[in-house]
Structure 1
């Protein structure tokens, strides 16, 4: 009887010992697993932090567009500054150029030009008068015509007012203003290749109309290149 109780007691102790050990093993396994997961997550996070700058650097080195992206804003600012300086210099150049043109025209040439405008474009608009001045100045610059205002205006067979004497009429304020706009302010109605004009309704010589390219008509005058 005693031996049976002893066997039962021993069996119970073994059973409790096994259960206890199993619980300890389970807890230890859970602990180890938790630590392992934590380490793994930590490593993954660190790798991601390292990979992002490395990947960005690699893309930057392989892609010139990405590599130069950081300079775009700076280059734009520099370009804007350069454009402002260019426009400023351009305006200064135009002012200097206009002053130079004014100084190269003598008082007698200016008066002759004003009288020609009055005779040729009396009754025309201010733009129409300026266009006549433009033709004279274009001829001065062109190699096929004389190189002074007086010689261009007085060239034989070129301007009717010279032949009929109307060039001696006193110029109006608007004719004087037209010369000022074209000469002093470099106002251009058309390009420098326009060298002729006439009234197509009253022209007796059709050479210009039949042989030159028509550019525009202002009032009664048609202009040709």
Structure 2
């Protein structure tokens, strides 16, 4: 840990002031790596400019909070970002395909779409069904069992968030080739078979222990 970047605060618990305002571009990347923030240089410079405007340095707790908020899992950078594919530029996969298709169809049986914790569709004249889809690709790739389990937890939470009762969890899963050669895996990437086994176990463990068929 770079001592010059971290100032220990006199508190009853471990707390550090991070000398972000004076950090160089290289030091910004060091801070991101050492604190496990997962933020690139552009993102770190944005945070730096914010705290320069506040005329103070952040604490490590504040930076961890920002790192979590801007993570792939919480902020969906892939869905929201600009994707270049076969000479075409796609501004937000989510808005261009998922949201756009739903709005173009404009089904009358959809009561609430992209507005609350979960979507609500018509069942009959008296009842609706709350439906929630959760993407946990990124956390499941890092820790398959826990990543998939908390995905189910998020679905159940958001169904409850629209005052509905969860009755079942269904799962659509996709993995790389389970027989993929280990020696061809990129550095830091877990094998598809390992991810597959952990994800399936995590989903069943969480949902079924909640008493919800999964």
Query: What is the TM-score with the length of structure 2 in the denominator?
Result: 0.22
Choose 1 or 2 for highest CA Rg. Answer: 1
Query: What is the TM-score with the length of structure 1 in the denominator?
Result: 0.21
* Bigger RCO (CA 8 Å, 6+ sep): 1
The structure where helix makes up a greater share of residues is 1
The structure where strand makes up a greater share of residues is 2
